[in-house]
Structure 1
Amino acid sequence: MTDTPPINAQALNHWFGSGEARKQALFDISLQIPRGSFTALVGPSGSGKTTLLTLLGCLRDVQEGSVQLLGHELRAAPEADLITLRRRLGFIFQAHNLHESLTAMQNVMMGLQVHGRIDDATAKQAAAHALGLVGLSERLHYLPGNLSGGQKQRVAVSRALVGSPDIVMADEPTAALDRESGANVVDLLKRMGQARGTTTLMVTHDGRILDRADRILTLEDGRIVKDERRSPA
């Protein structure tokens, strides 16, 4: 097992726009996130949290500085390498982005398509297991239109986790969930970190779950202004 952190950013800067409208969004971000940890990224709206998450998750080009993801440098990396890396990540966003014409199980099975050919029976078994982990065993064959907002978000969580990703990148995944469901999702991610070494980086405004984080990074105006380490719960 390597000691190389799965996420390692150094002197990361980022801008939006061009010419006189060019505005810097991130300033000199340096951080290392160890394997299996659960890190919460907090701060006011517009502080750069989602921008940082998308840069670390190779969803946005690195302009200046260095980002090493799972040992691979992202800056100027070929698109083929970025696609390969994304297959090792699980993404959860505030908008669940489910296909309305597919059942909960079929939506989750789509999370396995990036891993290549897998037989239908195995995919169904994996999807059913992932949905069971978030308490949706009784909703496998429901269409999104027949699910509540919180249930849809739990399907999205299952879809991100079904392929056993090395890293989970989550942007406000508990915003649509009640306190118990949100806590259950976070606890599930923490268990994956302990059992599989899955690393989680979560953007959140949800103060109800912060006591479960191993580390809380606070951003303000594009800068990390606080780095709070916590003992594992």
Structure 2
Amino acid sequence: MTDDPPVTVVGLNHWFGTGEASKQAIFDVNLTVKRGSLTVLMGPSGSGKTTLLTLMGCLRDVQDGSVRLLGHELNGADRALNEALRRRLGFIFQAHNLHGSLTAVQNVLMGLLVHGALDHERQMAAARHALTLVGLADRMNYLPANLSGGQKQRVAVARALVGNPDVVFADEPTAALDRESGATVVNMLKKLGQVRGTTTVMVTHDNRILDLADRVVTLEDGRIVRDTAP
């Protein structure tokens, strides 16, 4: 494993639209994320949090500046590199994006399909273990329509973690969860950082979990205005 930080951002700028309709959303952002840490991105709506998250997670093309992810430069990266890197990432979104025709355990199995390294029996064991970790051992064979909003989000969390990603990018992962469930999810991510070096970058408005973060980075109008990193 490389000794480089898992995520390094230098002089990052980003625009939406073209020509006269172009609007800058990210302004000269610099950020280095330490391996195994839980970094929270905060700020008002429209501050650039999710845009920054998706640029770091190779879900948007880097236009100007540098983003290095797991030792690879994303500015100018081709599709093959982006796809290879995504296999080493976990994504959790506010919209859980579950397949309605699949059970909870089948949805989690989808998170392993990109890896293809395990046989079906081991994949199933990993999926069941992930669901047990998020407190859904008794809901494995339920369809999403028969799960609460919070339970659906926990399935999405299990799906993101089942492949043991190097970095987890999470956008409002606790928005649909009650206080206890939200704390459980964030504590799990924090423990993964301590035990196996999993790095988490999380966008949130949830002040309840700030005490669990190793670092809080606040954005306003596309710029970092506060950073609790030492």
TM-score by structure 1 length? 0.97
User: Following TM superposition, by how much is the alpha carbon of 1:148 offset from its aligned partner in structure 2, in angstroms?
Assistant: 0.3
Q: Deviations over 1:87-132 (max 9, x none)?
A: 0000000000000110000000000001025321111100000000
Q: In the alignment, what sits opposite 2:197?
A: 197
Q: In the alignment, what sits opposite 1:14?
A: 14
Check if 1:44 corresponds to 2:44.
Answer: yes
Mapping of residues 174-189 of structure 1, within 5 Å: 174-189=174-189
Report the secondary structure of 1:20's partner residue.
Answer: helix
> Could you list the runs of 5+ residues in structure 2 that have no partner in the other structure?
none
Check if 1:155 corresponds to 2:155.
Answer: yes
Q: Deviations over 1:11-61 (max 9, x none)?
A: 000000111111100000011001000000000000000000000000000
Give me the whole-angstrom Cα distance separating, in 2, the residues matched to 1:18 and 1:106. Answer: 41
Report the secondary structure of 1:32's partner residue.
Answer: strand
Q: In the alignment, what sits opposite 1:210?
A: 210
Code of the aligned partner of 1:222:
G
Q: Deviations over 1:151-179 (max 9, x none)?
A: 00000000000000000000000000000
Q: In the alignment, what sits opposite 1:73?
A: 73
Q: In the alignment, what sits opposite 1:107?
A: 107
Mapping of residues 52-71 of structure 1, within 5 Å: 52-71=52-71
Give me the whole-angstrom Cα distance separating, in 2, the residues matched to 1:117 and 1:41. Answer: 33
Check if 1:119 corresponds to 2:95.
Answer: no
Give me the whole-angstrom Cα distance separating, in 2, the residues matched to 1:88 and 1:156. Answer: 17
Q: Deviations over 1:164-213 (max 9, x none)?
A: 00000000000000000000000000000001100000000000001100
Q: Deviations over 1:63-94 (max 9, x none)?
A: 00000000000011111011000000000000
Mapping of residues 82-97 of structure 1, within 5 Å: 82-97=82-97
Code of the aligned partner of 2:6:
P
- Count of residue correspondences: 230
Q: Deviations over 1:127-150 (max 9, x none)?
A: 000000000000010000110000
Q: In the alignment, what sits opposite 1:172?
A: 172
Give me the whole-angstrom Cα distance separating, in 2, the residues matched to 1:2 and 1:47. Answer: 32
Q: In the alignment, what sits opposite 2:130?
A: 130
TM-score by structure 2 length? 0.98
User: Following TM superposition, by how much is the alpha carbon of 1:229 offset from its aligned partner in structure 2, in angstroms?
Assistant: 3.0
Report the secondary structure of 1:62's partner residue.
Answer: coil
Give percent identity, aligned residues only: 71
